[in-house]
Amino acid sequence: MKRKVTRSKMHRFFSQIEPSFIGMEACGSAHYWARELKAMGHDVLMIPPSYIKPYVKRGKNDVADAEAICEAMSRPRMRFVPIKSAEQQATLMLHKTRELLVKQRTMSVNALRSHLSEFGIIIAKGIGRIDELLKLAEVDTTLPDAAKTAVKALAAILEGIEKAIDDLEGKSRMPMREAI
pLDDT at residue number 33 = 95
Angstrom CA distances, 11 to 17, 117, 171, stand at 10, 57, 32
pLDDT at residue number 173 = 60
pLDDT at residue number 178 = 47
pLDDT at residue number 174 = 47
In 4-62, the DSSP E strands lie at 21-25, 43-47
C-beta of residue 67 within 8 angstroms of C-beta of residue 59: no
Q: Where are the domains of the chain?
A: 7-73, 86-179
Task: Give the burial class of 151: count Cβ atoms within 10 A of its Cβ; 0-12 exposed, 13-18 middle, 19 or more buried.
Answer: buried
pTM score: 0.76
- Give the tens place of pLDDT for each residue, 1-32: 455 666 788 889 999 999 999 999 999 899 99
pLDDT at residue number 180 = 43
pLDDT at residue number 171 = 73
- Give the tens place of pLDDT for each residue, 105-114: 999 999 999 9
**pLDDT in tens for each of the 180 residues of the chain?**
455 666 788 889 999 999 999 999 999 899 999 999 999 999 999 999 999 999 998 888 889 999 999 999 999 999 999 999 999 999 999 999 999 999 999 999 999 999 999 999 999 988 899 999 999 999 999 999 999 999 999 999 999 999 999 999 887 664 544 444
